[in-house]
Structures are given as C-alpha cells and as structure tokens.
A = this chain, B = another copy of it.
C-alpha cells in the first residue's frame, strides 16, 4: 500500500505486451539476470496461450540502476524485437509528473493531495488547474502551484489551448478530479499523455450528466464510481477501477451525491496509484490491471 520513494531506489519496472509465445517469460527473466537484476514482483496474463495477447509487469532490483539504464534498454529492445512486443521500462525511483484538473468539487482533489503528502502516491504534482478559484488556497497550502483557466461559453478552444501550454512537456499524465468540462478530441490528440477521469456512476449505468439524479429516479440500491482513461467517446474509455456504496429509499439525490463523494475519492486514488506504478496496460477498450489489492 504505502509507497516510499527511497524504498524504490534501484528498482525498475518493465511492462510488456504483444502476441503470446513460448519462451517469452524465459527470455525476459534471462534478460534481467544477465543485467544483474533480481526480480521483486512479476505479474502476467495471457488472453489465450495459443494465439492470444500476452501482458507482463516485472519489477526488479538492480544496483546502480540509473547508470545501467541505457544498457538495459538496449538489451530489452534487442531481446523483445524478435517477439514483436511493445514495452516500457521505468526507473521506479523517478515519480511520474501529474497535473490535476478540477472544477468546484474538492473531495477528489484533496484526497489526492493528502495521499501525496503522506508519500502514498509515487508522483510529483507540478500543477493544479481549475476553471474556478475556490480551491486555490487549499492547493497552495499543500505547496502546489494553482492555475486558473476560466472556461465559460460554448467554445472551449481557448481554455484548452491555455491548458495545453501549461501541461506540455511538464507532465506525464493528467487527472480530471471532477473537472466538469468535456475534453475535445483535438485536445486529447495534442496533449499526448494519458488522461484519467472519475465518473460519478457505475458505468455503463448512468452515462453522461447528473448520474446521482438518474440513480435516484431508477431507485437503485447501490451507487458507484468509475475511473477510466478518457477517449473521444464520453464515458466510454477503458475502465481502470470501480466501486460502489449501498444506498436506500430514504436518501435524496443530494444524499447520494454526498455518499458518492467517498466512493469517488477512493476509486480515483486507486486508479491514479496503479497508473503511476505502471500497473495498468491498455489494450483496445480494456485495461489489464496488475493491482496490489490483497
């Protein structure tokens, strides 16, 4: 659970995906051994041993990792090329840079800032961007820069351009922590980093606006929250994590919203943590998530 950056000194994470083939795991582990690595955790999944897709995440310890990275990368490329695999190799002691976009609701934002301060999220937070100003003081109390980018009227292109300017080359991923603006396809194309959203329903139920009101109208006995990668189709991107909470007839839509806030902050926190730890591999509209859930 807890993430201590210094504990990640000299730890690398290798993720792999591509066509499943015999000998792949052996090739990878031999690779790690000859590069003086010691495997710490290894997760893998094959959608079908014959003709399916293969996914793997290996964390290994290697003394003086930083100096050896170029050499290891070259060896990974050489080793995995014949298998036709995609791969990433990251130094686990280097936290990813995360921008948070938020509107007026602060519960997801504060949970992320608080977990970050406790050392439980392996990220740095170079900026929080909001189309409102109500969270500015809280954000700066945590020692984090806050930028106000208003977004009024139907044309969002100016606001998106300003956001792009701020995040470009400065962040490794973006979190929409209840950012109540629709992101354009154009923005997604240009930003070039993953964007993670929290939707306040158990998708695919209650897609779109006002899910708590819709949940009240339908009379469901559980409400939920869903964290997913943002794609051009609203609320249709690959799901990373979901959870629910029990509700009853006596709760108003406002009560559902208040209760749901606790589900949202927990679900988004887990999704962010897993993404930051390279535990999530995307494949089409699905995710393979090698969680640390006990």
Nearest neighbor of A42 in chain B, beta-carbon distance: B42
Q: Is A241 an interface residue (CB 8 A)?
A: yes
Q: Is A49 an interface residue (CB 8 A)?
A: yes
Of the candidates B220, B238, B288, which one forms a contact with A242 in the assembled complex, judged by CB atoms under 8 Å apart? B220
Which of A67-75, A92-100, A172-180, A199-207 is found at the contact surface with chain B? A199-207
Q: Tell me the minimal C-beta distance from A75 to chain B in angstroms.
A: 14
Chain A residues bordering chain B, tally (CB within 8 A): 65
* Contact A258–B219 (Cβ < 8 Å): no
* Contact B40–A32 (Cβ < 8 Å): no
Number of copies of this protein chain within its complex: 4
Q: Is A183 an interface residue (CB 8 A)?
A: no
* Contact A241–B219 (Cβ < 8 Å): no
Q: How long is the Cα–Cα vector from A254 to B49 in the complex, in angstroms?
A: 17
Q: Is A218 an interface residue (CB 8 A)?
A: yes
* Contact B1–A259 (Cβ < 8 Å): yes
Of the candidates B26, B42, B43, B241, which one forms a contact with A221 in the assembled complex, judged by CB atoms under 8 Å apart? B241
* Contact A44–B39 (Cβ < 8 Å): yes
Q: Tell me the minimal C-beta distance from A230 to chain B in angstroms.
A: 15
Q: How long is the Cα–Cα vector from A29 to B203 in the complex, in angstroms?
A: 40
Nearest neighbor of A258 in chain B, beta-carbon distance: B2
Q: Is A187 an interface residue (CB 8 A)?
A: no
Q: Is A41 an interface residue (CB 8 A)?
A: yes
Q: How long is the Cα–Cα vector from A238 to B218 in the complex, in angstroms?
A: 8
Q: Is A154 an interface residue (CB 8 A)?
A: no
Given contact pairs A38-B22, A202-B205, A219 touches B49 in the complex (Cβ within 8 A): no
Given contact pairs A141-B141, A286-B249, A254 touches B294 in the complex (Cβ within 8 A): no
* Contact B219–A244 (Cβ < 8 Å): no
Q: How long is the Cα–Cα vector from A206 to B203 in the complex, in angstroms?
A: 10
- Chain A residues 115 to 138 lying within 8 A of chain B, measured CB to CB, are 118, 120
* Contact A110–B114 (Cβ < 8 Å): yes
Given contact pairs A41-B44, A110-B114, A249-B288, A258 touches B120 in the complex (Cβ within 8 A): yes
> Which of A25, A33, A247, A288: most chain B Cβ within 10 A?
A25
Q: Tell me the minimal C-beta distance from A115 to chain B in angstroms.
A: 10
With A22-B36, A40-B46, A42-B44 known, 9 other A-B pairs at CB within 8 A are: A1-B251, A25-B42, A26-B39, A40-B49, A120-B258, A218-B239, A219-B239, A249-B286, A293-B293
Closest 4 CB pairs of A and B: A2-B258, A248-B294, A26-B33, A205-B205
12 contacts between A and B (CB under 8 A): A1-B258, A2-B257, A22-B33, A26-B30, A26-B32, A42-B42, A42-B44, A49-B61, A218-B285, A250-B294, A251-B294, A293-B293
